Amino acid sequence: MIREVNSLDLLYLVAAGRWTLALTAMAFVGGGILGLAIMMLRIAPLKPVNWLAVGWIQAIQGTPLLAQIFVFFFGFAIFGYKVSPWVAAGVAFSIYASAFLAEIWRGCVEAVPRQQWEASAALGLSFPQQLRYVVLPQALRVAIPPTVGFLVQLIKNTSLASTIGFIELTREGQITTGATFRPLTVYGIVAVLYFLICFPLSQWSQHLERRLNVAR
């Protein structure tokens, strides 16, 4: 029977938002750790490891995120391993984030003037010491706004996890729509909730950009 959207439905939608945030946090932390390692390989003065990093980035960025989620969720079932939606979504999103964060951070490192590398080399610093004491502190100022911008995109992309039954905000919206047959109302609420999550992050990114004078 068709019914109206009520306060309990709204409560369920709001509660589902915490799983969206949890999945985003898992993907961002996992992707950040892996992305940092890939970025180091990408800028290392060794061609073989450069090619390895480039191959990883191209493979991940060149395939749809939805396909990556399906590979981890359905692919292992072929070999008799049942993967939960949590694990499949967490691993897929972490790998996806690693490729994009690695490229974002590589660009920020390369934005540091070459003279800084040359000056630190003249002081006798090794490559790791150049990164730690000279390059990365400067690259951090440039990296914060685009990193936060990617985080906002990652939050919205978590909606794809609904395709494997992961109950986050979008999936809860599908369930509520099936119960109420009010898709316009339900997905309007879902859109508002996504906005309430993403808008403060976007404002924070702009605040950091102004505070750090990145454009200067």
Q: In 44-165, which ranges are continuous DSSP H helix?
A: 47-61, 65-74, 85-110, 114-122, 127-130, 136-157
Q: How far apart are CA 86 and CA 80, in angstroms?
A: 18
Work out whether the CA dihedral 180, 181, 186, 188 comes out positive or negative: negative
Helical axes 85-110 vs 136-157, angle rounded to 10°: 150
Q: How far apart are CA 171 and CA 161, in angstroms?
A: 8
Q: How far apart are CA 100 and CA 147, in angstroms?
A: 9
Comparing C-alpha atoms, which of 12, 6, 2, 25 is closest to residue 190? Answer: 12
pLDDT averaged over the chain? 91
Q: Which residue in the block uniquely carries the two structure tokens 């939805």?
A: 66
Q: How far apart are CA 15 and CA 23, in angstroms?
A: 14
Contact predicate 214/141, CB 8 Å: yes
Contact predicate 138/108, CB 8 Å: no
Q: How far apart are CA 3 and CA 125, in angstroms?
A: 69
How do residues 116-137 score in pLDDT, each as one tens digit?
Answer: 888 888 888 888 888 888 888 8
For the chain, list the domains and their CATH numbers: 7-212 (1.10.3720.10)
At 18 the pLDDT is 95
How do residues 19-76 score in pLDDT, each as one tens digit?
Answer: 999 999 999 999 999 999 999 999 988 899 999 999 999 999 999 999 999 999 999 8
Q: Which residue in the block uniquely carries the two structure tokens 């749809």?
A: 64
Count other Cβ atoms within 10 Å, centred on residue 147. 20
Q: Which residue in the block uniquely carries the two structure tokens 């972490």?
A: 94
Q: Which residue in the block uniquely carries the two structure tokens 């068709």?
A: 2
Token pair of 98 as six digits:
């690693």
Check pLDDT > 70 for residue 213: no
Which of the 8 DSSP states describes residue 83?
-
Token pair of 35 as six digits:
């992305």
Residue 84 banded pLDDT, cuts 50, 70, 90: very high
